[in-house]
Amino acid sequence: MSNSTQTTIEKVNATLERRYAKERRFRKMGIAAIAIGLLFVVLLFVSIISKGHSAFWQTHIKLDIEFSAELLDIGDRRDIETLSTANYAALTKASLKAIFPEVDQRKGRRMLYKMISIGAPYLLREMVINDPTLIGSHQTVWLPADDDIDMLVKEQTDRNLPESSRRLNDKVIGWVDQLMARGAVEKLFNTTFFTAGDSREPELAGIGGAITGSLYTLLVALLLAFPIGVATAIYLEEFAPTNRWTDMIEVNINNLAAVPSIVFGLLGLALFINLAGLPRSAPLVGGLVLTLMTLPTIIIASRAALKSVPPSIREAAMGIGASKMQTIFHHVLPLAMPGMLTGTIIGMAQALGETAPLLMIGMVAFVVDIPGGPLDPSTVLPVQIFLWADSPERAFLERTSAAIMVLLAFLIFMNLIAVLLRKRFEQQR
Amino acid sequence: MINKRTLLAVTLALAATSVTAASRDYISIVGSSTVYPFATVVAEAFGKSTKYKTPKIESTGSGGGLKLFCAGVGVEHPDITNASRRIKKSEVERCAKNGVKEIIEVKVGYDGIAIANSNAAPLFKLSRKDLYLALAKQVPGPDGKLIDNPYKTWNDVNPTLPNSKIEVLGPPPTSGTRDAFSDLVLGAGAKKFSDLKALRKAKGEEKVKALMIKLGIPASAYNKKGKKVFKAVAYAVREDGAYIEAGENDNLIVQKLVANPNALGVFGFSFLEQNGDKVQGSIIDGVAPAFESIADGSYPVSRPLFFYVKRAHVGKIPGIKGYLAEFTSNKAWGDEGYLTDKGLIPMPKQERSQFASDVKGLKPFTL
């Protein structure tokens, strides 16, 4: 061996340092990529949570309400009909007048009465209808404040601006300060936000209706998409002969998974509403459209799960005399189930965040009443976010972010279930 | 087994409810996104104070709403459509063809369009002519012929305006606000030029073509209806970046104005009212956008809002009469009604009582 030729180990040693450096660079790039991804997630969460957290509390004002039959203008009648049409606004007005007796002009009084939410009389009505014996008694009641007051108390409007460019004038701010000094203003947990339907008054608006709508929609989608998707996957993977037809079906399923979701909305409009005559804005139709949308995802995931079951399982089952049906349902399917469930849950999570297809079938709508079934008009959570983001009232800004937080919580919860299910099935193996 | 049974039960329950869906117990409303914030408030008040269900309101845009509204009579079609412009003759004909013959028209009030900038910047005093010159794609040049818009700063347009770059954030062509802006600002500004004014009024092919030569408009722009030439010329907005289409979300425009004090924005008056601490409305032709100036008609950029009711549905769908009564009551659309809190500019008292009595008598309208 001459000096000019190197041994193999020398060759390796010469390039070793360079190759190590390459690997180190690659690792650093990977860490940088993850760091950038994490940074954006953190930014998103910080921005949404910092904007939205305050919406979970709502400013309330303590009022001493006298449930006087005279003010309610009901005399001695206590039947439901009379009680539900009585003048409850008079009660809050009288109470405010008692706190600020110096306000006597009509304009000043109007400003004073506006400090309490428009919805307060309905709350009082509910109290009285639930317990008519309240009439004639004095009660201390915490009532929601108007959204402008709420924004002031939460310091989201700047009180130092010139009076003309503020929503509230000095007088009203003075009254709020007086009430605060007496301890009659407090931020209480905003249960309305979770129980109520939509409203144009931010302090009365909630996501209860939208969550119910989302649940019905997803229920319909799950009941249809899971069995159809799994059945299709099993047939295509285990029974179907390989020929031009099944190839074509396979290609088309893969294509459908990439079709923009609005197209499914148009299809739903033509098929379910115009042809089948189902009602607009109903979760049933929404669920059907989302079924169409999630089916390809579920089929593809389920087929991949079936494919990953080792052939030895099938052969062993066949070898001890199981029929094809028995092989699949007793041995292959249980092993493929975690993958199928994961695919389904991810498909459902995708469906939960979808608005575009629902636009076409009328689910982007103002719905106050909480839907009682899959045929009542309703919206879904992402649509509610979209509608609030477009509202002029300042207080909807924080409610939009709060609704996004709830939606994200649901998505994380669903993904968590997917992970847990997979873990459990894997342990059983 | 239990699974199969519950599945069957659910399917049966669904089938059973779909039978009852043949009748509808809530009012279905579609239409303009500009009327939406007002209609929703009325619907909510109506739902809370009566035994009826709260109407369902979809925001589909004026044109989309009328299309759904005119599709026919029956529970699957909407009862009421909101519009930020008057119904067109072609739409009335389309309605009639589908059996929607008697329509009740209700004018709701007025909506102003604000041209605003950030509070941190100086207040603009604009005329409609200034806005036309700043935003049109083509403007009359020194020889009277139309040339591509040469203006870069507001100062170029009018020496009394600040020396800042022309930058206007506004709605896209699909929006009703844009339609009104084109009509009330660009069209009105263009009319300040005598040749363009003559073009708008010109009738007959010869007259229009003569004016088109005078203005230097290529003959290919001519089609059967002479008036469309004026619209094509005056309503075209420049595409060199001075006018930025900011989407339908007015909140977004307000946020962008705060971030960029040099820009002006075009949006509905209610957003100006809600964000008075962030943006200020420019003075147009000497009048500031304010509640009073829009109500008395002195602020030039305002438009009427309407809704249309299918008479055949009154009495069939429960609550329509009640909803109409709520909308046309003084506590809603009156001078101090709750709609004014949301930014609606009420009609004069006499006009209101006229519409209220027409609505009470369910008087169908004729164009």
Going by pLDDT thresholds of 50, 70 and 90, the confidence category of residue B270 is confident
The pLDDT of residue A104 is above 70: yes
Mean local confidence (pLDDT), A5-30: 89
The pLDDT of residue A428 is above 70: no
> Domain B122-260 carries which CATH code?
3.40.190
The pLDDT of residue A45 is above 90: yes
CA angle A10, A11, A14 (to 5 degrees): 85
For residue A298, give both structure tokens.
């579920």
Return the top range by mean pLDDT from A53-62, B142-151, B177-186. A53-62
Residue A126: per-residue pLDDT: 87
**Residue-range domain boundaries for chain B:** 2-110+304-360, 122-260
Chain A contacts of B7, Cβ < 8 Å? 223
Tell me, yes or no, whether A28 lies in a domain: no
The edge-to-edge listing of strands for the beta sheet with A185-189 is: A138-144, A57-66, A185-189
Which of B263, B258, B115 is CA-nearest to residue B178? B115
CB contact under 8 A, A200 and B41: yes
Residues of B in CB contact (< 8 Å) with A are: 7, 10, 14, 17-18, 20-21, 24, 26, 28, 33, 36-37, 40-41, 43-44, 47-48, 53-54, 56-59, 76, 119, 248-251, 268, 270-271, 273-277, 280, 336, 338, 342-343
Residue B14: per-residue pLDDT: 53
Helix (H, G, I), strand (E, B) or coil at B290: coil
Q: B116: which strand partners?
A: B265, B281
* Strand runs labelled E in B161-278: 168-170, 243-245, 264-268
Going by pLDDT thresholds of 50, 70 and 90, the confidence category of residue A360 is confident
Check: CB of residue B106 under 8 Å from CB of residue B363: no
Going by pLDDT thresholds of 50, 70 and 90, the confidence category of residue B48 is confident
Of B47 and A78, the one with more pLDDT = B47
Tell me, yes or no, whether A240 lies in a domain: yes
> In this structure, what CATH number is given to the domain that contains residue A291?
1.10.3720.10
The pLDDT of residue A429 is above 70: no
Distances B49 to A85, A89, B54, B342 between C-alpha atoms, Å: 7, 12, 10, 19
Residue A133: per-residue pLDDT: 87
Query: In this structure, are A73 and A140 located in the same domain?
Result: yes
Query: In this structure, are A166 and A271 located in the same domain?
Result: no
Distance CA B110, CA B309 (A): 19
Superfamily of domain B2-110+304-360 in the CATH hierarchy = Periplasmic binding protein-like II (3.40.190.10)
Mean local confidence (pLDDT), A53-74: 89
Chain A contacts of B265, Cβ < 8 Å? none
Distances A64 to A140, A179, A333, B225 between C-alpha atoms, Å: 5, 13, 65, 69
Query: In this structure, are A176 and A230 located in the same domain?
Result: no
In total, how many domains does chain A have?
A: 2
CB contact under 8 A, B26 and A369: yes
Residue B28: per-residue pLDDT: 93
DSSP state of A17: H
For residue B4, give both structure tokens.
């199969």
Chain A contacts of B338, Cβ < 8 Å? 118
Mean local confidence (pLDDT), B137-165: 87
Per-residue pLDDT of B89-111, as tens digits, reads 888 999 999 999 899 999 999 88
Residue whose entry in the numeric block shows the structure tokens 């263009």: B190
Query: In this structure, are A293 and A356 located in the same domain?
Result: yes
Q: Which of residues 383-412 of A touch B (CB under 8 A)?
A: 387, 389-394, 397
Tell me, yes or no, whether A20 lies in a domain: no
Query: In this structure, are A164 and A229 located in the same domain?
Result: no
Interface test with B, best of A82, A118, A291, A368 (most B CBs within 10 A): A368
Chain A contacts of B28, Cβ < 8 Å? 280-281, 377
The distance of A303 to chain B (nearest Cα, Å) reads: 23
The distance of A322 to chain B (nearest Cα, Å) reads: 23
For residue A166, give both structure tokens.
């503020």
Instruction: Count Cα neighbours of A50 within 13 Å in the Cβ-side half-sphere.
Output: 6
For residue A251, give both structure tokens.
């290609």
Going by pLDDT thresholds of 50, 70 and 90, the confidence category of residue B16 is very low
Which of B47, B58, B274 has the CB atom closest to A392's CB atom?
B274
Instruction: Count Cα neighbours of B53 within 13 Å in the Cβ-side half-sphere.
Output: 22
Residue B269: per-residue pLDDT: 87
ipTM of this predicted structure? 0.78
Tell me, yes or no, whether A239 lies in a domain: yes
Residue B20: per-residue pLDDT: 43
Exposed (0-12), middle (13-18) or buried (19+): which is B89, by Cβ within 10 Å?
A: exposed
Domain edge (last residue) among A142, A172, A197: A197
Q: Which of A171-185, A316-330, B45-59, B193-207 has the lowest mean pLDDT?
A: B193-207
Does A167 touch chain B if contact means CB atoms closer than 8 Å? yes
Residue A242: per-residue pLDDT: 87
The pLDDT of residue A164 is above 80: no
- The fraction of chain A above a pLDDT of 70, given in percent, is 98
Residue B10: per-residue pLDDT: 57
Residue B21: per-residue pLDDT: 47
Tell me, yes or no, whether A22 lies in a domain: no
Query: In this structure, are A109 and A249 located in the same domain?
Result: no
CA angle A97, A84, A61 (to 5 degrees): 35
Query: In this structure, are A167 and A272 located in the same domain?
Result: no
Domain edge (last residue) among A168, A197, A226: A197
The pLDDT of residue A334 is above 80: yes
Interface test with A, best of B69, B277, B280, B317 (most A CBs within 10 A): B277
Tell me, yes or no, whether A38 lies in a domain: no
CB contact under 8 A, B54 and A394: no
Per-residue pLDDT of B199-254, as tens digits, reads 887 777 777 788 888 787 877 777 665 557 788 888 888 888 889 888 767 788 88
Query: In this structure, are A189 and A283 located in the same domain?
Result: no
Query: Which amino acid, one-letter code, is at A303?
Result: R
Identify the domain containing residue A113 by its residue range: 56-197
What are the φ and ψ backbone dihedral angles of B21, each rounded to 5 degrees? -70, -10
CB contact under 8 A, A281 and B343: no
Length of chain A: 429
Of B337 and A30, the one with more pLDDT = A30
Chain A contacts of B36, Cβ < 8 Å? 366
For residue B367, give both structure tokens.
């164009």
Q: What is the mean pLDDT of chain A?
A: 89
Which of A201, A278, A392 has the CB atom closest to B270's CB atom?
A392
Residue B11: per-residue pLDDT: 57
Does A265 touch chain B if contact means CB atoms closer than 8 Å? no
Per-residue pLDDT of A231-274, as tens digits, reads 999 999 989 888 899 899 999 999 998 899 899 999 999 999 88
Mean local confidence (pLDDT), B160-165: 89
Return the top range by mean pLDDT from A138-142, A170-174, A228-232. A228-232
The pLDDT of residue A37 is above 70: yes
Query: In this structure, are A238 and A305 located in the same domain?
Result: yes
Chain A contacts of B258, Cβ < 8 Å? none
CB contact under 8 A, A280 and B28: yes
Chain A contacts of B56, Cβ < 8 Å? 281, 365-367, 377
The distance of B18 to chain A (nearest Cα, Å) reads: 7
CB contact under 8 A, A369 and B47: yes
- The fraction of chain B above a pLDDT of 70, given in percent, is 91
Helix (H, G, I), strand (E, B) or coil at A396: helix
Interface test with B, best of A47, A124, A165, A200 (most B CBs within 10 A): A200
Mean local confidence (pLDDT), B306-334: 91
Chain B contacts of A157, Cβ < 8 Å? 277
The pLDDT of residue A93 is above 60: yes
Distance CA A75, CA A228 (A): 62
Mean local confidence (pLDDT), A212-240: 94
The pLDDT of residue A327 is above 70: yes
Tell me, yes or no, whether A13 lies in a domain: no
The distance of A277 to chain B (nearest Cα, Å) reads: 7
Mean local confidence (pLDDT), B334-344: 83
Residue A49: per-residue pLDDT: 94
Query: In this structure, are A326 and A347 located in the same domain?
Result: yes
Query: In this structure, are A245 and A345 located in the same domain?
Result: yes
Check: CB of residue B62 under 8 Å from CB of residue B84: yes
Residue A89: per-residue pLDDT: 85
The distance of A120 to chain B (nearest Cα, Å) reads: 12
Does A81 touch chain B if contact means CB atoms closer than 8 Å? no
For residue A89, give both structure tokens.
């606004």
Exposed (0-12), middle (13-18) or buried (19+): which is B220, by Cβ within 10 Å?
A: exposed
